[in-house]
Structure 1
Amino acid sequence: MQFHLLFFKFCYPNTVMEKLERVLSALWTVLSKCGMIVKGLTEKFKEKDTRYTGSATLSYEDFMTMIIPFLVA
């Protein structure tokens, strides 16, 4: 019974502010990971967009080779 109370005291936030801090921290982690994925995909796309027109023609294999590393990371 005492372990159960200690677990809840130290593992779960007690105040609204602590809950908000945990939510914001998790959100920041997700957003920063998304930003890194977008940046990486942009760099890969730029390699294929040799004329810098904002468009590129890719085969299915090229497309999958470009995005798979970002999906499994």
Structure 2
Amino acid sequence: MMKLKLGPLADDKPVKVAVELPASLHRDLTEYGRLLAGAAAPIEPAKLIVPMLERFIATDRGFAKARRPMQKPE
């Protein structure tokens, strides 16, 4: 099985999201959902957006560095 950045998604209460995506990105999200689901029913693109953004934020070193409080020099 291939290694994807996202693991299994939590079965949370659905939240309606309205965003406009380029068609190519929607196709990629649809394919990602199909690959992530494996033999199960494909995961709809809207359910991938939040975990992908969370993963992106969690692994963005520049963002993490900018969020750290300024340390006082000794």
TM over 0.5: no
Bigger proportion of residues as helix? 1
Higher relative contact order, structure no. (Cα contacts within 8 Å, ≥ 6 residues apart):
2
Question: What is the TM-score when the length of structure 2 is the normalising length?
Answer: 0.30
Question: What is the TM-score when the length of structure 1 is the normalising length?
Answer: 0.30
